Amino acid sequence: MPPVSLGLLAANLVVFLLLQGASGDELLALFALWPPGMPGGPGFQPWQLLTYGFMHVQTLHLFFNMFSLYFFGSSIETIFSGIFGRAGNVYYVALYLLAIVVSDLPSYFKHRKQPRYNSLGASGGVAAVIFAFIVFAPLESICIYVALCMPGIIFGVLYVAYSYYQGKRSGSNINHDAHLYGAVFGILFCAVVYPSSIVLCYEQVAQWFSNR
């Protein structure tokens, strides 16, 4: 497994284990994203816009994020290394960390007057990695729950539409806005650092539609 992806997985796992310990609540107060500050705890701290992305308290949340990062992160790390050489790992880390920050900024501004709101988890960063993969390999199959498989570009359209719809409903504890903005950031990041990736993606999708 490529070293950066392995390191990110390990970091998330270590933090998850620390959160299960006696100091878990203190760590949540300090490092989860609390836009108005945790009630009875410290106020909002700027580092929370990054550290929240390494925090998971539910096993399934951690599993799905790390499962996705294992497959898509490994592919993107390899693709970036092929394009940018030794700098590929730097681009990959930048994609992941910047996506964590950027994807939750809308939630920060949206909820900064809601005293009990908090956000945590790597979903925004993982969404950016998945959509970077879709940019480079839009026709590769992506499977949902193993059985339902479809080309990446179709998955991407459905993912964005679902995240937008659920984000407007605001009826669950899942931060769908982070999924949406993480996905958008992943596409924009590729467009900036390797503009021809967007052209190649379009050409592959156009050819695929023309052959159907």
Distance CA 178, CA 93 (A): 18
For residue 35, with 0-12 CB atoms within 10 Å meaning exposed, 13-18 middle and 19 or more buried, which class applies?
buried
* pLDDT for 2: 87
- State which residues form the domain around 29: 3-210
Number of domains present in the structure of the chain: 1
Torsion on CA atoms 147, 152, 157, 160, rounded to nearest 10 = 80
Could you report the per-residue pLDDT of 99-156, keeping only the tens digit for each? 999 999 998 998 888 877 888 899 999 999 999 999 999 999 988 776 788 999 999 9
Considering only CA atoms, which of 105, 115, 71, 116 is closest in space to residue 178?
A: 105
Mean pLDDT of the region 85-90: 96
Could you report the per-residue pLDDT of 172-205, keeping only the tens digit for each? 556 788 899 999 999 999 999 999 999 999 999 9
Q: pTM for the full model?
A: 0.92
In CATH, what number is assigned to the domain containing residue 60?
Answer: 1.20.1540.10
